[in-house]
Amino acid sequence: MAAPEKLTTTVSTKGQVILPSAIRKRREWGAGTRLQVEDTSEGVLLKLAPAFAETRPEDVFASLPHSGKPKRLEEMDAGVLAEARRRHARD
């Protein structure tokens, strides 16, 4: 396997760093891409920022009120299947 490509960049007076084009293209990071910056013992790590904030189950359980009898698993499966068929027929 070939050695990784060594690329350099410069920090501007505003603290900005331009990522080399080859890396941006390979990662498909266009203008406006949000990145997380992590300071590690090996250096600085850049990775895509998540599209949504991390949530815990307890943050969202019971967030949609429901009135009536709880559905059985078979009823929920049938509802999901019916919606999938409806969406497929539309395509």
Strands 43-48 and 35-40: antiparallel
Q: Sign (positive/negative) of CA torsion 68, 69, 70, 76? A: negative
Q: What is d(CA 18, CA 56) in angstroms, rounded to the nearest whole number?
A: 35
Residue range 42-58, pLDDT digits in tens: 999 999 999 888 888 87
Residue 70 has pLDDT above 90, yes or no: no
* Eight-class DSSP state of 76: H
pLDDT at 2: 63
Q: What is d(CA 68, CA 91) in angstroms, rounded to the nearest whole number?
A: 33
The predicted model gives 34-46 an average pLDDT of 95
Q: Please give the model's pTM, rounded to 2 decimal places.
A: 0.52
pLDDT at 76: 92
